[in-house]
Structure 1
Amino acid sequence: MTRSLGFAAMGFLTLVPMMIVLAAADPAQAAGFAHWLSRALSASTSAEPEIQQLFAPPQRVLRATTSFSLAALALFGITFAAAVQTGYEKVWGLEPARRGTSHARVLARHVLWLCLLVGYVLLFTNTPLRRQNVITTPLGTAGAVVITLLVLWASQRILLGGRAGWKALLPGALVTTLGILGLRVFSSLVLSPLIVTSAVAYGPVGTMLVVQSWFVGVGFVLYAGALVGRILYERAWPRAQRRRG
């Protein structure tokens, strides 16, 4: 939970501004990042306007964006990647990668992971995974689930620098994928109505608290899924070895 809180804080500090700039630069997304975040939260039509009030219009974002702010985002993004890598290393009981790897390789892995994450978020928030569309678009939902699995699988491999095998990382990717799907259902049933009631009671601060709680949930699913995956792998692998023997 402690690492999940750190993930939420750093994710909101780095990923949200980065996605706001990308959303503003995309003329096809008139609603900008607020629309993307609403899709990720499975927000209802009544909750989406409350989320939109938290963010500036895309045109204002582009006018306010400077080279210094972009450089700061890149720096914070690398720090965010390093924090997630440390979480995975703790899950697998590994030493920090910097002790045996050059800084250039570690930095390259962080940049690659950030590119993978941004690409996934852009795709994930534009797929028909709203509750009312799941039944009517099963193929699109299945495709999004497969992509989520592949991204989570590759993320562990990239950040761990190949120190854990693909086979060992697969259970964690599967569990984390199921956790993310469960989080989307929970967001639709609990967080989306809570946004509306919190906005009435506390104003934009209430909406921000719910959004931040969702980020905590994402971090918890990410780390807990990897940990459960390691437990499942270590319990299944000795059995397979004994059967072969």
Structure 2
Amino acid sequence: MSALSSSVQAVTALWNRMPFVGRVASQLTVVNIFDCATRLAAQAFLSAIPVLFVIGAFAPQAVRDQLVESLRTVMGLGGATLDQVQGVLTADSGNVKDASGAVGVLVTLASATACSRALQRVCERSWHMRSAGLKVVMWRWVAWLVVLLVALIAQGALHDAFGAGALLGIPVSLVASVMLWWWTQHLLLGGRVRWLPLLPGALITGIAVVALTWGSRLYVPRTLERSVDQFGPLGAVFTLLSWLIVFFACITVGIALGYVVAHEQPFDRWLRTSAATGRTDPADDADLAEESAQRP
């Protein structure tokens, strides 16, 4: 019994000496990393196929070719999976336009904004804020989706530094990724947090996303090949969905940790976090977490 008591005291003492670790653990618990990542991955996966049809129907051939190259670069897609994507993007655009129409495009866009809404909830939960009104954020869902699609299409060129080579492509991709996730947080939080306190989250997220995409070029092709051989098309679905979960876990963790870092000494003084954020009272954090968990 005394040994157990001593162990508990030792763990407590160690925890007290590392308050940053405790704050990180508390933040990740409140944000609920795996739930958010899984929800974002599911929304992105369900939106991807209709969006590909719309791009295949209405985008110029050069844009479609660039998207194929970006998917090959970012996720390491190849073989039968990439052929299927190319088949969707190179289908007879006239027939697809007739089948889609303006109503179909609007429905696709509305359904795709579900991913924007889920990411907005991640940002609000990470920064301990209540949900913004629809008038404040509705247009931001569409704006984020459009910019994300542009960024995805440009990934192939970014990874090659626009023809300068893969070595230069790493810093170019890193800068672009940090800028994207910096802007994303500011946009989806409705401008309620100023730019500087959002920088740590943008840096963490940008570095994690670039590291994942470069690593995926080695991991994903082999995993896809094994999955397709064993389970057929369902194997590809499982692999791609798993990759999306890891991808959005990186984003969720990055945004959540950015909040903690922005409130740590001396970063809070450098970033002027206290004066630049509309942080709620800590006593409200449990209510905010419960409110976030109850949202669909």
TM range (shorter): 0.7 to 0.9
Deviation per CA, 1:71-126: give whole Å up to 9, x if none.
Answer: 2112112332111101110111100002xxxx333212222212221211111244
Deviation per CA, 1:186-240: give whole Å up to 9, x if none.
Answer: 3123222101111111111111211111111221111110011111111134774
Q: Which residue of the other structure, out of 41, 56, 63, is the alignment partner of 2:88?
A: 56
Compared with structure 1, are the counterparts of its residues 113 and 29 closer, same or farther at alpha carbon in structure 2 (3 Å cutoff)? closer
Task: Give the Å deviation of 1:52.
Answer: 2.3
Asked if 1:42 is matched to 2:71, the reply is no
1:144 alignment partner in structure 2: 173
Q: Which residue of the other structure, out of 126, 139, 163, is the alignment partner of 1:108?
A: 139
Whether the aligned pair in 1 keeps the contact of 2:158 and 2:173 (CA below 8 Å) is yes
1:20-31 to structure 2, matched below 5 A, reads: 20-24=53-57, 25-28=59-62
Matched AA of 2:43: M
1:93-242 to structure 2, matched below 5 A, reads: 93-98=128-133, 103-128=134-159, 136-237=165-266, 240=269
Unaligned runs of 5+ in 1: none
Task: Give the Å deviation of 1:56.
Answer: 2.7
Partner Cα distance (1:53, 1:216) in 2: 22
Compared with structure 1, are the counterparts of its residues 145 and 9 closer, same or farther at alpha carbon in structure 2 (3 Å cutoff)? same
Structure number with the bigger relative contact order (C-alpha 8 A, sep ≥ 6) is 1
Partner Cα distance (1:134, 1:60) in 2: 30
3-state SS in 2 of match to 1:113: helix
Partner Cα distance (1:88, 1:226) in 2: 7
TM-score by length of 2: 0.70
TM-score by length of 1: 0.83
Partner Cα distance (1:86, 1:94) in 2: 9
2:123 alignment partner in structure 1: 88
Whether the aligned pair in 2 keeps the contact of 1:176 and 1:225 (CA below 8 Å) is yes
Task: Give the Å deviation of 1:167.
Answer: 1.1
Compared with structure 1, are the counterparts of its residues 125 and 238 closer, same or farther at alpha carbon in structure 2 (3 Å cutoff)? closer
Unaligned runs of 5+ in 2: 1-33, 271-296
Larger gyration radius, structure 1 or structure 2:
2
Structure with higher helix content: 2
Partner Cα distance (1:109, 1:30) in 2: 25
Compared with structure 1, are the counterparts of its residues 62 and 173 closer, same or farther at alpha carbon in structure 2 (3 Å cutoff)? farther
Compared with structure 1, are the counterparts of its residues 29 and 115 closer, same or farther at alpha carbon in structure 2 (3 Å cutoff)? closer
Residues paired across the two proteins, number: 232
